[in-house]
Amino acid sequence: MLKSLIALCAVAGMLGLSACSGMGRGETVGTVGGAAAGGAVGSAVTGGSTLGTLGGAAIGGYAGHEAGADYDKKHR
């Protein structure tokens, strides 16, 4: 079970990073950093629940992306 989860996370991470190729630096850093922080918070809040971790990562990634996009617009 744990190996499957790790493999799934690795594949999702690679796909997510490949999708970042057209983004600015702030968007990329914001998305990855937000997803990592959101996943950690989601895991802590839900006691390690997989769904809580994934939900936190999704919300954090979205928030980080938006913050990074705003940063990129201001620093062009």
- So what's the pLDDT on residue 63? 92
Instruction: Give the pLDDT band (50/70/90) at residue 3.
Output: low
* Residue corresponding to tokens 């079970």: 1
Instruction: Let me know: does 71 contact 26? Beta carbons within 8 Å.
Output: yes
Q: Evaluate if residue 21 carries a pLDDT over 70.
A: no
Domain ranges of the chain: 24-76
* Span 25-66, pLDDT tens digits: 888 888 888 888 888 898 899 998 888 888 888 999 889 989
Rounded Cα distance, 52 and 58, in Å: 10
